[in-house]
Chain A
Amino acid sequence: MIEHGERVLLLGPSGSGKSTLLAAMAGLLARSGAGEAEGTLQLDGTAGVVFQDPESQLVLARAGDDVAFGLENTGIPASEIWSRVDTALSAVGFPYGRDRSTAALSGGEKQRLAIAGALALRPNVLLLDEPTANLDPLGAQLVRGALRRVLANRTCVMVEHRIAEALDLIDRVVVIAAGGGVIADGTPERVFREQGTALAAAGIWVPGPPPVAPPRRGAPSNAIVVEARDLTFAYPGSTVSALTGVSVILRSGRTVALVGANGSGKSTLALLIGGLLRPSRGAVRDAGGADLARLRARALILRVGSVFQDPEHQFVTGRVVDELTIGPLRAGRAPLEARRLANDLLERMGLAALGAANPFTLSGGEKRRLSVATALATAPGALILDEPTFAQDRRTYGEILALLADFRDRGGALCFASHDPFLVDALADERLTLLAGRTQ
């Protein structure tokens, strides 16, 4: 039972059905028709929904038209539409005019627009499904700023993993168990006092410090594994360089963190160091002087492993275990040895029971662990990761942290691009700050 004016945070481990419950409140389940339903749900009035992914909830090319979309659908007369659009846009602090192209907006701005689109319908309750989970810290801050203004005297139900960031937006917390059912319900203070440890163990980001990295074992040898010199790169068709004159050295047993705002060139640099893109000037070489960008892929994966931000982009087979054998096989290992390596990795990653599953059906945390394992399977000297902890729950975060520290302690050269200040603090021996494609 949620009263008018209450702002509720819905918590629970992955797979407990938070998003499903939210979809039910939005009246979106009846139409999909899949699964079994029991019980009833009553809503006094209408609901407005904001989803997680900024790329798949805007419909039209111009910002104003997009906010008007819902109003057109519900048959609001044209004479009234534009004043409601303007009110909604100013309520979320949208900084541009109605004609602004939605394609030109940042992730945080797109989410603000999505909130305006929901508000314009004057819903009795606002439903927010992890509205900041897909955003970088700056974008998330933009959206929280907008929500702070918007939620002042509204009814709202929010699903969110990172509680510290939602805490000042809500006044009641409801915790759902993995199998369904409410475990805790009350003010944030009370719920966290009584359930804090259990919530943290379930992977939820409770207020307080994040998991810490295990202490370093042994001393790094500092031998050079990969050396990138004076890299300049422009994407095809672009007149501006994404990177200009960047140099970086990866050493055995040490960690380099690539930091900087969105669009500063972190991801491009990670692709270049990984030997996946060919620089327009400069080169990335291994200890033996081989130019990584010119190596065959099967030779490259013995030297450098790359992990992409979205694990799904790098799955190439239909079974978890095949994902782990394909690299060693391509690099020339015998099938039996590849199989043994794969089983070892499955065990270490806690995926042993999922060997025959399709990689696309795994949970977010499992996909992330599998994608790191695929890169480790060929035992490369260096590991390059793009946002390895992005949108992960607290448990997966801790596991990734331990995994990376272990790789480093075994003498691997580690490099990652990240917005996550905790991860950078926990692991980085050296920080490379990028600003508009140049090192600071």
Chain B
Amino acid sequence: MAKLGGAAALFLALFLAIDPVTPAIILIVLLAALPASGLAPRALLTRAAPLALAAASIALFNMLFGDGGIAGGIAVGLRLLAIGVAGLLSLATIDPTDLADALIEHVGAPPRFAIGTLAAFRLLPIFAHEWQTIGLARRARGIDESSLGDRLRGFAERTLALLVGAIRRAARLATAMDARGFDSGLPRTCARPRALRAGDRAWLACAILLASGATAVSVALGTWRFVLGQ
């Protein structure tokens, strides 16, 4: 939960400022803090590569055609990249089970919804595999998918076939969850109680500090520009 809060603080700072300095500072600090996140630099690199490409192309486009010229283009690019990296870092380090726990415990989300969603997520890779298999099986039945029309109809029929299996599987999963007393009306306990721990608080504090610090430095240098303030 603290991670989401921290990311929100950074997003706010990045959204409010459209100068190059604020995002540059945030980006540098985030990259410096990378080892502490436990995320391998390579993993970040592969995930951030398309993002960096998008940011660079948008920056270039803005430099050439935007009102802000070269500086404006760089600012837009940096801003996008910083938002992306902050988002990646928080998402990549959040465990879905922990998030569901936190949503139930700290935000009061109904377990029926939070745990149900988690259980459904477990089925996604299975559905991806089934989708492939259904496609191969259609070829085995003599169905070509070469023209666009074929493909569109194929897509609809594959979706239907997948849904039939998915609904049945989901019903079985729901029965299995019932059999283990899920949503039976008894008060639920949590096996992984998580008070907002010192580490979480520190994370949140650092993020807020970074967001306000970067803004403050930029204001002090006279470079800070408000999003609506042109």
Which residues of A are at the interface with B, using a C-beta cutoff of 8 A? 23, 26, 28, 31, 48-49, 51, 53, 55-62, 65, 68-78, 81-82, 85, 102-103, 114, 117-118, 121, 271, 274, 276-277, 296-298, 300-301, 305-308, 310, 312-316, 326-327, 330-331, 360, 374-375, 378
Contact = CB atoms under 8 A, between A and B. Distances in A.
Contact of B143 (A55, A308, A316): A316
B106 interface: no
A326 B142 contact: yes
Contacts of B134: 313
A61 B179 CA distance: 19
A78 B189 contact: yes
Contacts of B169: 53, 55-56
A57 B171 CA distance: 10
Given A75-B186, A313-B161, 15 more contacts: A31-B178, A53-B172, A56-B123, A57-B176, A59-B173, A59-B177, A65-B97, A69-B180, A72-B190, A73-B181, A73-B188, A118-B179, A276-B140, A307-B140, A315-B161
A307 B172 CA distance: 25
A51 B177 CA distance: 11
Contacts of A375: 140
B139 interface: yes
B57 interface: no
27 contacts: A28-B175, A28-B179, A49-B179, A51-B176, A56-B169, A56-B172, A57-B172, A57-B176, A59-B119, A61-B96, A69-B177, A70-B180, A72-B188, A72-B189, A74-B184, A75-B189, A102-B122, A114-B176, A271-B136, A276-B136, A297-B140, A298-B142, A305-B140, A312-B161, A312-B165, A316-B157, A330-B142
Contacts of A70: 180-182
* 4 tightest Cβ-Cβ pairs between the two chains A and B: A70-B180, A57-B176, A73-B181, A314-B137
Contacts of B161: 312-313, 315-316
B141 interface: yes
B218 to A, nearest CB: 41
Interface of B: 95-97, 115, 118-119, 122-123, 125-126, 130, 133-134, 136-144, 146, 157, 161, 164-165, 169-170, 172-173, 175-184, 186-193
B158 to A, nearest CB: 10
A82 B157 contact: no
Which applies to chain B's interface (DSSP): helix, strand, loop or mixed? helix
B228 to A, nearest CB: 43
Contacts of B172: 51, 53, 56-57
Max chain B Cβ within 10 angstroms of own Cβ: one of A73, A274, A306: A73
Contacts of A314: 137-138, 140-141
A276 B136 CA distance: 6
Contacts of A298: 142, 144
Nearest to A277: B136
A296 B187 CA distance: 59
Contact of B176 (A49, A72, A305, A315): A49
Contact of A374 (B126, B141, B165): B141
Contacts of A103: 122, 125
Contact of A301 (B126, B133, B142, B181): B142
A55 B179 CA distance: 16
A53 B172 CA distance: 8
A74 B186 contact: yes
B80 to A, nearest CB: 27
Contacts of B184: 73-74
Given A61-B96, A65-B97, A118-B180, A301 B140 contact: yes
A28 B177 contact: no
A128 B161 CA distance: 29
A61 B118 contact: yes
Given A56-B169, A313-B134, A65 B139 contact: no
A306 B137 CA distance: 8
Contacts of B97: 60-62, 65
A121 B190 CA distance: 15
Contacts of B181: 70, 73-74, 121
Residue with the greatest number of chain B CB neighbours at <10 A, chosen from A53, A70, A74, A308: A74
A100 to B, nearest CB: 13
Nearest to B138: A316
B186 to A, nearest CB: 5
Contacts of B182: 59, 69-70, 73
Nearest to B169: A56
A72 to B, nearest CB: 5
A313 B177 contact: no
Contacts of B175: 23, 28, 51
Nearest to A316: B141
A124 to B, nearest CB: 14
Nearest to A80: B189
Nearest to A384: B140
B137 A313 contact: yes
